[in-house]
Every structure is written in structure tokens, then in C-alpha cells.
Amino acid sequence: MLKTFTGPALLTAAAPLLAAALLPASLAAQSAMAHFDASSKVFRLDAANTTYAFGINSRGELQQVYWGGRLGASDTPPTPTPRREWASFDSTYTNTPQEYGGWGAGLFNEPALKVTFADGNRDLVLHYQSHTETPSGLDVVLKDISRNVLVTLHYFIDEHTGILGRSATIENRESAPITIEQAAAATLVLPAGNYTLNYLTGRWAGEFTLNQEPIRHGARVLESRRGTTGHQANPWFAIQSAASDEDHGEVWFGALAWSGSWRTTIEQDQLDAVRVTSGYNPFDFGYVLHPNEKLETPVLYAGYSAHGLGGASRLLHAFELRNVLPRTQKTASSPTPRPRPVIYNSWEATEFHVSEAGQIALAEKAAALGIDRFVMDDGWFGQRKTDNAGLGDWYVNQEKFPHGLKPLIDRVHALGMDFGLWVEPEMVNPDSDLYRKHPDWVLNFPGRPRTEQRQQLVLNLARPDVRDYVLGFLDKLLNENDIAFLKWDYNRNWAEPGWDQLPAAEQKKVYVAFIQNLYSILAELRKRHPNVEIESCSGGGGRVDLGILRYTDEVWPSDNTDPFDRLTIQDGFTYAYTPQIMMAWVTDSPHWLNKRTTSLAYRMLSSMQGSLGIGANIDKWTPDDAALAKRLIAAYHEVQPTIVQGDLYRLISPRNGSEFSATQTVNAAKSQSVVFAFIHSTQEGRGFPLLKLKGLDPDAQYALTPIEGKAAADSPTTASGAFWMNHGLALHDDFRGDFQAAAFRLDRK
Ligand code: DGJ
């Protein structure tokens, strides 16, 4: 029997009820196919170009049997059959590709779930018990062979992209507590083969570096132990088959929707199969589940592309746009969120030295450039003169804004822009009224030093009183001021993660409860202020993941705004995340970080690859600078939906010291395309390579219009999609030198 099911399972992770309020209406109409074949005992999920299949083997275990390109409707996936022992040194339980393996029965590879029972038993062997169809897909219930521990595996498949959502709910129906030491969203298995692993790592000001390496025997662990997503690794992976590249071949990819400590383990087992297990980081984990309590894991989203890494990221971008990112009330019915307003942000211009007159002066200049949103950054509250003081005291600094924020906000509105404000809600400086009043509110181990980073401590958001305080002051701020946007910052990681209000055995719950409360605050704020938009910033890209992106409209990928460095950061970013959320500011030259000097046109085009902002000290701009920026902002506005929501093709990567880089985006109707080309430094007189475009309609005619720079003197101005894709776009012979940039649009005639 083939069944159609509808709706989202993507919100079954932490805080599901609050999250459900944010569902895009478009999800209600989604459908995909779920099928259980009672004779072979195989569950099959089919959508777009993907089939995922698993079944109940003769021992009652849930076993994965297939994940890849879509199978024919009448095809029968392999019958789940337990793998045999290779030798006496291992177990059939280990060799069998468990769909969600409990640690027990001699499981030697990464378990999905590991628990300790009150009597010291640590053996957990999960067998199929039942399944139900849900509005969003399938729930399959597993139970331990003797104990009353139930695990419900949730499955969702997206009809547009074939992306699967997987998570688990663990329930204790024993009469005594159990401690969960490890809990994954899912395990995914690929058959024996040669694969390449792609993953993103970095550091502050150097996020989203793409790493590519062969998968070898043993385990590669990607993780954060920092209480947050982290700059150092991002919870995304892509596994390529041997014959795959940017445009061709098979790729299996995934992204964990969690903003706390996380871990993804990619292991090639002794029989060469590859298993990916992703979920809560088991390091320092210990979640006590009392009788009748449940723990939900985050969701792992996983997809398959037959069109290389480029195809994988296009699927993920489309999925994020349609299924993950929130909508405001105004855009609730549109299938994708609106493109981001072009912003001005004052941080690099003024740092903490904000004032009513200074911000108004900047706002006037920004409005004249065609900016949509004016954002005041750090420094407006409490005794915030440097980063030594003030976090926690979310009242307007009277010296800097004697009449409150209203005069500034009114002026910004009168100039035709909306207003955004910086906050860092989860933090406190020891030098603050809040800390003086509530020193017990921070993460700490009593009697131990409290490690400061940037002179700040982390409020324990897991505490209900802290959660209420944070929600309360943000709600008040939004009630009392006409604020359209919050830049939500988070500028340190955890140390001493104690929660001393709970019994010692329960304190490790902080890893889950903190993030659940963060999500619930964001959800509640969005409910109470349905048109307010939010950016996730963490000293740049320290908190970018599909968990926070259910509640935030955009992210700040890096504090590094050097336009050349940004090309590589942005390239890496797009493997996992859509350009829609990739905020990119044009800042001053020479750049504060690298001392590199670049032209304004180069800086503008680098930022125009994503969601454009201006973060320079525009007080110092010449009339020529302002005129150029104004022209390019207007040109950007015209093609922005194609750039940020179109299909992205990374034509030439800036990685590995490349002299050149180029990207192209094509809108869904194939009626418009935008091309960016950058030169790092031409060597030995080499000209820019012919850019063979992609994704166009070969039979349509496209007119080429420069946004900045020139095509070759003999390039046609109008030609077929076939011409631009097969012959290619030739750039002008003068396009040479250091840090050069050009951009073009193609419009179907
Ligand atoms: C870190 C952010 O990434 C910056 O953009 C800026 O907002 C500072 N924090 C302000 O303290």
C-alpha cells in the first residue's frame, strides 16, 4: 500500500510546541511517499530523486537497507538480513547496519544510544515494536529486549528535495531513573566503498574552511564541546563517492539541527561500510530520565545528490529556504522568506562609541545610499563603554541617549529605513548591576574560579528564573521601541558548566535544557512580535546551524570582513547554508585584520555574493564612493532574489590559493542569472578563464548586462543559454591585476 503523508517533522526536536507556531504554511501542502511492505518488513521513503529504506530483520532489529537515487516504484529493496560475524572477535550485531543501535550485545562501533540503568545494567538492545504513520511521516517504536525503555524514531522526507529528517524520542517506562550517556538523532550507513569526506572547520575570523579527505578505517570525529555550535567545526558533512566532484557523482550529506555541544562520528568499519552517527555530544553528557520522562534528540537532516557537491548544496539551500527558515507574519504564506533588507551596521565605524547624534549622522548617510535597515550595534546600554562592563543591564545608557532610543528610531523611520538593535542576551559582565544582584545566575561550579572570556560570564539559561528574565527584558525592549530586527550575539563559549540548583547527578542536563530554553525564548519572542527578524551572531559564525535557523532569519558568518578572505569563507559557507542568510558587509580599506587594500567595487561585489550590508565608516566616504555604492546597491536590489535564492553554481573555487574565483546563480524560472568573477592576483599575464555558465535554458536567449566590469570586446550581448553554457562568457582582456572584481546579469529575452 502506498501512502501519502504531509507536514513537517522538522520541528520534532527540542521545544516542539513552541516551534510549531512558526511553521510556514507551505509545509502543510507538502507530501511524499511512505510505504511499509508487510511481507518483506521493509519501510521505504521516497521523494524527489531519493529513496531511503530500512526494515526489520529476522532478529527484530531495525536495519538500513538502502539510501540513494530513487528506485522504481515496483522495485523491492533488499530484505534486511543480519550480517554474519567475520570472526570470533566481533559480533553480528556490530556488522549489521543498525538503524539506531543501542550499546549492548557486543556493539563495537558508535552506538546511537547508551544508557545506564539504576541497577548498574548498561546493556541495551533495541528491537522493533510497532510503527505508526504520522502527519509528517513515520514513527517507528523500538524497545529494549527486556527493559521498559522505548525509543521512537521519527522520519520525515521532503517532497521537493528528498531530504530526510530523523530524530528520536527516548522514554523511560522503568520504575527507576536511567541515565542517558549518549543519544544520537540517527545513524546513517553507506555500503562498503571508497569515499571522500567533506567537512567545515575554522576559528574566529576564519570560519567555514572546507576540508576534503579520504574516509579511512577508524573514526573521524567532528564535534563541539563548547556548549554551542562553535567556530571550530560546523555540524555539516558531505560524503562523496569516488567518482564525484563539484558537478557530478553521488553525494550523501547531512546537517544536525542543534546549537549546543554536538558530535558527528564518521567511521569506516572493518568491512568497509561507512556509518555516520550524529547527535548530542556524549562528552560530559549524562541526562537523568526519571520514570515516564522523555528526551527528544535534535533532528539530523540528510540528503542525497547525484549531481556532486554543487547539487548537494543546491538541495540543502532549497530545503532551508522552504522548510527551515522562519517567516514573519507578513510573509507567512510565501514559500520562501523575503530577501534580507540591505543593512547598514555601525559596529566597525563606531565600536562602543555610539551616541544619538553620531548614529543619526550615519543613518542620514546610509539612507542616501539606498539602505533599507539601520542597525545600531554594541554600546547603547548599561555602563557599556568597552567590553568590560554592562552586559546584563539592558536599559538605555542615558549619557549616550538622553531621550532614550526614540529620537534615533524616529529619525531612521523618517529616512525610510527600519531599525535594528544589537543584544547579547545570554551573557553578563561581572561589572554589571545584574551580576551584582544575581551572582548565582551564571554557569559555575561553586567554590571554583569563574573563567571569563571577553570579561564576561554565561548566564545559566537552563534556570527557569534566568529564562524568564531574558525573555522579559527582550519582550520589554520590543514593546517599548519600534524595533524590526535584533542582532543576537553570543561572544564566548562555556567553562565550568555547573547548575548547582539541581542534585549533582542531574546537573549535566544543562547541555540540553540551556538550548531548549534558548529556542523557546526565540520562539516566544517571534510569537509575541511576529514581524521582528533576528540574526544569529556569535562573534561571527560561532552559532550557525539548522537548529538556530528555525528561529533566526540570517546569520553573521564571520567578524572577518576582509573582502578577499570573505570569498573563501563564503565559498565554504555555501556548502552547507543558503546565501539568503549569509550577511556580508562592505567595510573600510585597508582592512583592520589583514591591512589589505582593496577597491570599493571589489568590496561591494564580494559582499553582493550574499545578503549585502554596509559596515564601513561612511562618514569618511568621498562623493565618488557614495555614488558607486548607491549605484551598486540599486543594481543589487534588482537581482537580489536571484543571488540569494537562486540555484548556486560555484564555477571556480577561491580555495587552495586560486588566482581566480567565480560563482553563478540562476533563478527557479531560469529567466535570470547573476555571475560574479574575482581575481586574487593575475600571474604571468594569464587572463581570466572562460566562464562556462550552468543551469540556463539552452534554447532561451539571454541578454548580458554588466553590473560592474566588462565582457570581452567580441562577446555577444545576447546569445542562447547553449552559447553561454557551451562556449562560455569571456571577460575583457583588461580584467587583470590584484583584487579585481566583475559582475554580470543575464536576462531571458
Ligand atoms: C561580535 C560581533 O560579531 C560583531 O559584529 C559585533 O557585534 C561585536 N560582537 C560587538 O561586541
User: What cell numbers appear for 493 in the block?
Assistant: 563559549
CA atoms of 645 and 300, how far apart (whole Å) = 23
Strand order in the sheet with 672-681: 647-652, 660-666, 672-681, 738-748, 701-708, 718-720
Within 10 angstroms of residue 666's Cβ, the number of other Cβ atoms is 24
With a pLDDT cut of 70, the percent of the chain lying above it is 96
Place of cell 568491512: 271
Instruction: Find the 491 Cα to ligand 1 centroid distance in Å.
Output: 8
Ligand 1 site, residue 377, Cβ cutoff 6 A: yes
The DSSP result for 440-482, as a single string, is GGBS--TTS----BTTBEEB-TTSHHHHHHHHHHHHHHHHHS-
Q: What angle do CA 244, 159, 185 make, to 5 degrees?
A: 75
Q: What angle do CA 520, 524, 529 make, to 5 degrees?
A: 150
CA atoms of 130 and 127, how far apart (whole Å) = 10
pLDDT at 6 over 80: no
Task: Over range 65-69, report the average pLDDT.
Answer: 98
Ligand 1 site, residue 540, Cβ cutoff 6 A: yes
CA atoms of 486 and 422, how far apart (whole Å) = 6
Question: Whose alpha carbon is nearest atom 9 of ligand 1?
Answer: 539
559 is catalytic: yes
Instruction: Find the 484 Cα to ligand 1 centroid distance in Å.
Output: 19
CA atoms of 308 and 310, how far apart (whole Å) = 5
Alpha carbon 47 to chain centroid distance? 23
Give the per-residue pLDDT at 12. Answer: 29
Ligand 1 site, residue 93, Cβ cutoff 6 A: no
pLDDT 10s digits, 256-288:
999 999 999 999 999 999 999 999 999 999 999
Ligand 1 site, residue 488, Cβ cutoff 6 A: no
Give the per-residue pLDDT at 90. Answer: 87
Could you tell which of 351, 538, 544, 559 is best to mutate to test the pocket of ligand 1, judged by most ligand atoms within 8 Å of the CB?
A: 559
- Residue 184 class from Cβ within 10 Å (0-12 exposed, 13-18 middle, 19+ buried)? buried
Torsion angle of alpha carbons 189, 195, 196, 201, nearest 10°?
20
Give the per-residue pLDDT at 5. Answer: 30
Question: Whose alpha carbon is nearest atom 1 of ligand 1?
Answer: 539
**Phi, psi (degrees; rounded to nearest 5) at 321:** -65, -40
Instruction: Find the 539 Cα to ligand 1 centroid distance in Å.
Output: 5
Could you tell which of 491, 534, 536, 566 is best to mutate to test the pocket of ligand 1, judged by most ligand atoms within 8 Å of the CB?
A: 491
Place of cell 563564503: 570
Instruction: Find the 378 Cα to ligand 1 centroid distance in Å.
Output: 7
By three-state DSSP, how is residue 358 classified? helix
> What does the chain come to in residues?
749
Ligand 1 site, residue 347, Cβ cutoff 6 A: yes
How is residue 9 annotated by DSSP?
-
Tell me the domains of the chain and their CATH numbers: 3-324 (2.70.98.60), 343-645 (3.20.20.70), 651-748 (2.60.40.1180)
Three-state secondary structure along 229-263? CCCCEEEEEEEEECCCCCCCECEEEEEEECCCCEE
Going by pLDDT thresholds of 50, 70 and 90, the confidence category of residue 356 is very high
Ligand 1 site, residue 435, Cβ cutoff 6 A: no
Within 10 angstroms of residue 217's Cβ, the number of other Cβ atoms is 9
Provide the phi-psi class of 164: left if phi over 0, else alpha when psi is between -120 and 50, else beta.
beta
**Phi, psi (degrees; rounded to nearest 5) at 448:** -105, 155
How is residue 78 annotated by DSSP?
P
pLDDT 10s digits, 510-524:
999 999 999 999 999
Within 10 angstroms of residue 32's Cβ, the number of other Cβ atoms is 23
Amino acid residing at 365: K
Ligand 1 site, residue 208, Cβ cutoff 6 A: no
Give the per-residue pLDDT at 3. Answer: 35
Give the per-residue pLDDT at 135. Answer: 73
Going by pLDDT thresholds of 50, 70 and 90, the confidence category of residue 347 is very high
Could you tell which of 347, 348, 354 is best to mutate to test the pocket of ligand 1, judged by most ligand atoms within 8 Å of the CB?
A: 347
Instruction: Find the 702 Cα to ligand 1 centroid distance in Å.
Output: 42
Go through 399-431 and write b for each residue having 16 or more CB atoms within 10 A of its CB, e for each that does not.
ebbeeebeebbebbeebebbbbbbbbbbbbbbb
Give the per-residue pLDDT at 137. Answer: 83
Please identify, by atom number, the ligand 1 atom nearest to the C-alpha of residue 540: 3
On average, the pLDDT of the chain sits at 94
Instruction: Find the 487 Cα to ligand 1 centroid distance in Å.
Output: 9
Ligand 1 site, residue 559, Cβ cutoff 6 A: yes
Give the per-residue pLDDT at 8. Answer: 30
Question: Whose alpha carbon is nearest atom 11 of ligand 1?
Answer: 378
Tally of CA atoms within 13 A in the half-sphere of 270 that contains its CB: 15
pLDDT at 21 over 90: no
User: What cell numbers appear for 423 in the block?
Assistant: 543584544
Instruction: Find the 381 Cα to ligand 1 centroid distance in Å.
Output: 15
Q: Is 299 within 8 Å of 203 (Cβ atoms)?
A: no
Instruction: Find the 395 Cα to ligand 1 centroid distance in Å.
Output: 19
Give the per-residue pLDDT at 271. Answer: 93
Ligand 1 site, residue 539, Cβ cutoff 6 A: yes
Question: Whose alpha carbon is nearest atom 5 of ligand 1?
Answer: 559
pLDDT at 178 over 70: yes
Ligand 1 site, residue 491, Cβ cutoff 6 A: yes
CA atoms of 531 and 330, how far apart (whole Å) = 7
Instruction: Find the 489 Cα to ligand 1 centroid distance in Å.
Output: 7
Give the per-residue pLDDT at 26. Answer: 36
CA atoms of 517 and 441, how far apart (whole Å) = 15
Ligand 1 site, residue 557, Cβ cutoff 6 A: no
Q: What residues contact residue 503 under an 8 Å CB cut-off, 6+ apart?
A: none
Question: Whose alpha carbon is nearest atom 4 of ligand 1?
Answer: 539
Task: Over range 368-376, report the average pLDDT.
Answer: 98
Instruction: Find the 490 Cα to ligand 1 centroid distance in Å.
Output: 9
User: What cell numbers appear for 109 in the block?
Assistant: 562501533
Q: Is the bond into 590 cis (omega within 30 degrees of 0)? A: yes
Q: Which of 377, 393, 418, 559 is catalytic?
A: 559
CA atoms of 256 and 208, how far apart (whole Å) = 16
Please identify, by atom number, the ligand 1 atom nearest to the C-alpha of residue 487: 7
Question: Whose alpha carbon is nearest atom 2 of ligand 1?
Answer: 539
Question: What beta strand segments (E) does 350-393 contain?
Answer: 373-376
pLDDT at 34 over 50: yes
Ligand 1 site, residue 489, Cβ cutoff 6 A: yes
Calculate the alpha carbon distances from 591 to 154, 546, 597, 626, 679 in Å.
Answer: 48, 31, 7, 18, 18
Ligand 1 site, residue 535, Cβ cutoff 6 A: no
Q: What residues contact residue 410 under an 8 Å CB cut-off, 6+ apart?
A: none
Instruction: Find the 556 Cα to ligand 1 centroid distance in Å.
Output: 9
pLDDT 10s digits, 592-626:
999 999 999 999 999 999 999 999 999 999 999 99
Q: Is 238 within 8 Å of 310 (Cβ atoms)?
A: no
Q: What angle do CA 739, 743, 745 make, to 5 degrees?
A: 175
Could you tell which of 456, 556, 585 is best to mutate to test the pocket of ligand 1, judged by most ligand atoms within 8 Å of the CB?
A: 556
Question: Whose alpha carbon is nearest atom 3 of ligand 1?
Answer: 539
Instruction: Find the 690 Cα to ligand 1 centroid distance in Å.
Output: 39
How is residue 737 annotated by DSSP?
S
Ligand 1 site, residue 556, Cβ cutoff 6 A: yes
Please identify, by atom number, the ligand 1 atom nearest to the C-alpha of residue 377: 7
Ligand 1 site, residue 24, Cβ cutoff 6 A: no
Q: Which of 378, 489, 553, 647 is catalytic?
A: 489
pLDDT 10s digits, 184-196:
999 999 999 999 9
Within 10 angstroms of residue 118's Cβ, the number of other Cβ atoms is 12
CA atoms of 172 and 288, how far apart (whole Å) = 10
Could you tell which of 207, 351, 353, 377 is best to mutate to test the pocket of ligand 1, judged by most ligand atoms within 8 Å of the CB?
A: 377
Give the per-residue pLDDT at 29. Answer: 34
